[in-house]
Amino acid sequence: MDYNSLEMKVAVITHDRETNSPVLILKSEEEGSLLPIWIGPYEAYAIMMEIEGIEAPRPMTHDLLKNIVSALGADLEYIEIFDLSDNTFFSQLILSTEDETISIDARPSDAVALALRCSANIYVSREVVEAGGAREGDGKTKLDKKSIDEMLKDLKPSDFEAGDAGNK
Amino acid sequence: MDYNSLEMKVAVITHDRETNSPVLILKSEEEGSLLPIWIGPYEAYAIMMEIEGIEAPRPMTHDLLKNIVSALGADLEYIEIFDLSDNTFFSQLILSTEDETISIDARPSDAVALALRCSANIYVSREVVEAGGAREGDGKTKLDKKSIDEMLKDLKPSDFEAGDAGNK
């Protein structure tokens, strides 16, 4: 990764009542900086299910992503969020095979959902953290621990954990 | 694939008002048999976006799946729905690389969303078609062409076509 990148971890997924959108909050444990990323509901569930250790009876889409990477003999080395442009975050997956290293364009939500499943590090360039970030306690980003429980309460297992069903 | 399999195509995605779930309808053009599969809302959108030719500004999860397969030098040969057990459909992706052919377990909804993106054939074993299928006009499955337009009307581009956003 860029030498100027910061390792960050998933701090929490919360919910922005104003936009009615899930927000993924990344945190640098070293520096305390936070990076909020507004993501889609399905990707939020994919991240939460991994964090909460909920195993689906059938492979969900991000489980399938992981299984394909592994079946094709590749490893996810790390993911990197490297740009914030027109209010959209850009990231890439860094995959390694026996012969080469490959980078693949991905949204941060997909990249993080895959990184968690592969125990891969999450790096964010300092420019992105400065442009899109916040700090704990500055009021710009409210970390609401309760929201996770609320979202998990709203999680309908039938929507997100089930296999594709027949006409019963 | 199994010599006993039937090639099917996506006929339509409709909506089951009773279960409030999207239903993917596969159809054998040769034999006229239909196979309804109850799937998740996100997977339904992923299939519809491809059918309707809607291109997202950032790669959605199933676009990423396709890009990973391609970047790792593999081709999706075909997908196969081979079992219906406990009211759950089971399918697999058949991928080929230079050296080998690999099969990967996947839900039919993910498999079909990927097959459409890779122009790969969809095969269904005759046993599954017999166990879970229907025929046009038998009243068991109502093909409601209007439902697609209704679902597309409800499709919020902000949820399904956007990139991950910053705090603007």
Give per-residue pLDDT as tens, B88-133. 999 999 999 999 999 999 999 999 999 999 999 999 999 999 999 7
Question: A84 CB near a chain B CB, below 8 Å?
Answer: yes
Among B130, B83, B89, which Cα is nearest to B108's? Answer: B89
Q: Residue B129's closest chain A neighbor by CA?
A: A166
Tell me: pLDDT of A165 over 90: no
Supply the pLDDT for residue A93: 98
Band the pLDDT of B154: cuts 50, 70, 90: low
For residue A16, pLDDT beyond 90: no
pLDDT of residue A133: 79
Of residues B61, B72, B165, nearest to A61 (C-beta): B61
Average pLDDT over chain B, rounded to an integer: 86
Nearest to A164 among B64, B107, B140 (CB): B107
Q: Residue window 35-64, chain B: list those with CB within 8 Å of chain A.
A: 36-43, 57-62, 64
The average confidence (pLDDT) of chain A is: 86
What pLDDT score was predicted for residue A150?
57
Average pLDDT over every residue of B83-92: 96
Do B164 and A107 make contact, defined as CB atoms within 8 angstroms?
Answer: yes
pLDDT above 70 as % of chain A: 80
The better pLDDT of the pair A46, A2 is held by A46
DSSP chain A: --TTEEEEEEEEEEEETTTTEEEEEEE-TTT-EEEEEE--HHHHHHHHHHHTTPPPSS--HHHHHHHHHHHTT-EEEEEEEEEEETTEEEEEEEEE-SS-EEEEEE-HHHHHHHHHHHT-EEEEEHHHHHHH-EETTSSSS---HHHHHHHHHH--HHHHTPPPB---
**Which one is predicted more confidently, A157 or A129?**
A129
In this predicted structure, the answer to whether residue A88 has a pLDDT above a threshold of 90 is yes
Q: Which residues of chain B have a CB within 8 Å of the CB of A37? A: 164-166
Q: Does A127 touch chain B (CB under 8 A)?
A: no
Say whether B104 and A74 touch across the interface (CB within 8 A): no
Interface residue of A37, A60, A61, A105 to substitute, partner B, most B CBs within 10 Å: A61
* ipTM higher than the 0.90 cut: no
On the question of pLDDT at A142 being above 50, the answer is no
The residue whose two tokens read 């239903």 is B23
The yes-or-no verdict on residue A29 having pLDDT over 60 is yes
Distance from C-alpha of A40 to C-alpha of A21, rounded to nearest angstrom: 7
- Chain B residue numbers touching A162 (CB-CB < 8 A): 40, 88
Check residue A109 and give its pLDDT: 98
pTM of the model: 0.87
How many Cβ pairs closer than 8 A exist between chain A and B?
A: 158
Rounded Cα distance, B163 and A105, in Å: 12
Res. B157 pLDDT band, cuts 50 70 90: very low
Angle at the Cα of B72 from the Cα atoms of B67 and B77, rounded to 5 degrees = 75
Q: For tokens 């030719």, name the residue.
A: B53
